[in-house]
Amino acid sequence: MTEPSAAAGILRKHRVAIGIMTALSPTLKQKLATPLQIGEVTVNSRVLQSPLSGVTDKVFRRLVRRYAPTSMMYTEMVHASGVCHVETLPKIMEVDPNEHPISIQLFDCRPDFLADAARKAVAEGADTIDLNMGCPVNKITRKGGGSSLLKDPAMAVKITRTVVDAVAVPVSVKTRIGWDDEHINAIEFARQLEDVGIDMLTLHGRTRAQGYTGAARWEWIRRVKDALSIPVIANGDIDSVEAAVRCLETTNADGVMCSRGTLGYPFLVGEIDYFLKTGDRLPAPTVIDRLLCAQEHLRLIADYKGYRGICQARKHMTWYVKGFAGAAELRESLCRIETVAEGEALLQGAITHLSECGETACLWESPTLTPLTLSGPISLPIRG
Ligand SMILES: Cc1cc2nc3c(=O)[nH]c(=O)nc-3n(C[C@H](O)[C@H](O)[C@H](O)COP(=O)(O)O)c2cc1C
């Protein structure tokens, strides 16, 4: 388990009384105090960072891991057939030797391609393989991948069995509660996958028809959890400590997976993880902390991907920049940056202005915080 005592000084200063809404029941507390067991892999955190296409690259995962050192992270989804006949793996499949535990997520509808890609993922360093059976995007479902497998359980079973047989690491599946309201089949679907050997299921509490709209239906996650013996991870609308606790109480799930709540906020997984382990809150990042994090993100993604990284950074910057006067104008300018220097100067301008108005940094005051690099060990600003 992460040692929380090193942070005691900072934490005492910032401790916030936890209200009734965020109190964990004793049974849940007891369960969450133990590690998450995914087959043979032990993970010392019950909070996971979801796979997010176009977001959870090596840089983003490092930013998240700085606050959630023991949490499981996922790569962006990788098209299995796209890596079958290549000598060099694409960047989205790259795993740093320092970033464990890590799962590589694969999607496709061809069992043999998936098995081959899974073997390559293990060779790259994946601790587990995750199979995407939840993506709602037409381009993918039309070809029989992602959430369309909910309509073809026989193929989902065939894929899963082939991949489970191909690799020695645990295999998990991430899926949705069903195709649409008339076809909610997560319980039977998940049972069949459990029978062919998956070690964990992550359930996004929406149907494919919902896309990303409407509330996640955690009550369905509860039903699936009750029907399975393997760990079930709840996903959908986990955007705060309060939401995580409510979801865990509603679903009795073995953990939660954060998704959109982490966009421009790589602190979320760590915040929830810390609360589940200690009952205390980590200090919330200030607006200045978020801008400093945006600067760091921009620098690292440009180091890693060059100009393409700068283009990708534009959307990240707009997610970080909110909650202060002038944020909208700054977002507009950041959407057009062509160089790192340009982006850093824009962010620095806002930091200087906010400082003059009396705003301060909180996380970045930590004496143990050192600049993040693309590889090597990560300094942990909060937990020492
Ligand atoms: C931009 C974006 C990219 C995503 N990429 C993936 C992906 O690569 N693999 C996957 O399984 N789910 C992906 N998802 C779905 C999320 O992991 C998650 O299941 C969904 O957003 C629900 O959680 P939320 O309500 O907390 O956002 C993506 C979602 C978004 C918004």
Ligand 1 centroid – CA 357 distance (Å):
37
pLDDT of residue 369: 75
Kindly report the average pLDDT of the chain as a whole number: 92
Evaluate whether 5-278 and 287-361 have a shared fold: no
CA of 183 from ligand 1 middle (Å) equals 21
Ligand 1 atom closest to the CA of 239, numbered from 1: 26
Ligand 1 pocket check for 172: Cβ under 6 Å:
no
Please choose, from the candidates 156, 260, 254, 161, the residue with its C-alpha nearest in 3D space to the C-alpha of residue 200.
254
Supply the residues annotated as catalytic: 135
Q: What pLDDT does 77 receive?
A: 98
> Does residue 103's CB lie within 6 angstroms of at least one atom of ligand 1?
no
| Residue 19: predicted pLDDT | 46
Report the atom number in ligand 1 closest to the C-alpha of 216: 25
Assign 380 a pLDDT band (cuts: 50, 70, 90). low
Is the shortest distance between the CB of 216 and ligand 1 below 6 Å?
yes
Q: Which residue owns the Cα nearest ligand 1 atom 4?
A: 52
pLDDT surpasses 50 at 17: no
Give the domain 287-361 fold.
1.10.1200
On the question of pLDDT at 180 being above 70, the answer is yes
Q: Given the structure tokens 């966009």, which residue do they identify?
A: 263
Residue 381, pLDDT score: 61
Total-model pTM:
0.93
The answer for residues whose C-beta is within 8 angstroms of residue 321's C-beta and 6 or more apart is 264, 290, 291, 294, 327, 330, 331, 334, 347, 350
> Which residue of 47, 48, 49, 53 sits with most ligand 1 atoms within 8 Å of its CB, as the best mutation to test the pocket?
53
Average pLDDT over residues 127-134: 98
Task: Decide: 364 and 289 in contact? Cβ < 8 Å.
Answer: yes
Judged by average pLDDT, the poorest of 9-13, 80-84, 162-166 is: 9-13
- Whether residue 9 has pLDDT greater than 50: no
Pocket of ligand 1, candidates 131, 141, 212: which has the most ligand atoms within 8 Å of its Cβ, to mutate? 212
What per-residue confidence (pLDDT) applies to 29?
Answer: 87
Picking from 230, 223, 249, 176, the residue whose alpha carbon sits closest to that of residue 22 is: 249
**Model confidence at 382, in pLDDT bands (50, 70, 90)?**
low
CA–centroid distance, 149 to ligand 1, in Å, is: 17
Of the candidates 319, 308, 310, which has an alpha carbon nearest to the alpha carbon of residue 260? 319
Q: What atom of ligand 1 comes closest to residue 261's alpha carbon?
A: 26
Q: What is the pLDDT of residues 187-227, one digit of tens each?
A: 999 999 999 999 999 999 999 999 999 999 999 999 999 99
Q: Write the residue with the smallest CA distance to atom 30 of ligand 1.
A: 52
Topology of the domain comprising 5-278? TIM Barrel (3.20.20)
pLDDT at residue 146 is higher than 50: yes
Q: What's CA 240's distance to the chain center, in Å?
A: 13
Confidence of residue 5 (pLDDT cuts 50, 70, 90): very low
Could you write out the DSSP letters of every residue in 169-188? S-EEEEEEEESSTT-B-HHH
Domain residue ranges of the chain, discontinuous segments joined by +? 5-278, 287-361
Q: Are the C-beta atoms of residues 280 and 326 closer than 8 Å to each other?
A: no
- Give the span between the Cα atoms of 235 and 10, in whole angstroms: 31
Token duo for residue 16: 């916030």
128-133 and 171-178 beta bridge pairing: parallel
What angle is formed at CA 30 by the lines to CA 24 and CA 32, rounded to 5 degrees? 75
Rounded distance, CA 365 to CA 118, Å? 42
In ligand 1, the atom with minimum distance to the C-alpha of 130 is 11
Contact 199, 39 (CB under 8 A): yes
Which residues does residue 174 pair with via DSSP β-bridges, in sequence order?
Answer: 132, 202
Is 18 buried (19+), middle (13-18) or exposed (0-12) by CB count in 10 A?
middle
The reply to whether ligand 1 has any atom less than 6 angstroms from the CB of 205 is no
**Residues 28, 31: Cα–Cα separation, whole Å:** 5
